[in-house]
Each structure stands twice: as C-alpha cells, then as structure tokens.
Amino acid sequence: MQTHLTTEALAERLGIKPQTLRANLCRNGHYFGLRPVKMPNRLLLWPADAVERLSTGLHTQPEEELGPEMSPPVHQNESGQGR
C-alpha cells in the first residue's frame, strides 16, 4: 500500500494545480493542515490518505493557525462594528 503521494498526484486527486499546494505550503507551512515530508532531493511527499482526511475534515486547524486569508469573514453591522 502506498504511504505517500507526490505533489502532482495529490493535486490531481484534489482537482487543483500542483502550484496551489506548493504556494500554500510556502505561505502557510501547510495545506489545510497537511504537511508533506521533504526528501533530500527536494521532492515533497504528501500523506496518501490526504484526500480522505481533507474530505472528512479530520485535519482541520484552529483559526489562529490558519492565518488571516483562511479565517472566516467578519461581518459588520450597520454601525460598522464586527459581530
């Protein structure tokens, strides 16, 4: 049984571009909580169960770890103050 997927294989299974995974890893240190193993030859290997973990929500991060671009939006009321 395969234990890891390449960036390209994971991106294909998720229906996204490989660069999306790489960019999120660079900016946030993870892709929705998933962190790859970095091989000596710079190849990134992602957990093979990543698709299942993402689809079932088993690997969610606390809001403060997600960063401002991933945090839920703050809705403002008529006075301009957040709820």
- Please give the helix or strand (H or E) that residue 37 lies within, else none: strand 37-38
pLDDT per residue over 18-77, tens digit each? 999 999 999 999 999 899 999 999 999 999 898 888 878 765 554 444 444 444 445 556
Could you tell me the residue ranges of all domains in the chain?
4-59
Helix (H, G, I), strand (E, B) or coil at 5: strand
Token pair of 18, please?
């490989």
DSSP state of 80: S
What is the distance between the alpha carbons of residues 11 and 27, in angstroms, rounded to a whole number? Answer: 17
> What confidence score (pLDDT) does residue 2 get?
74
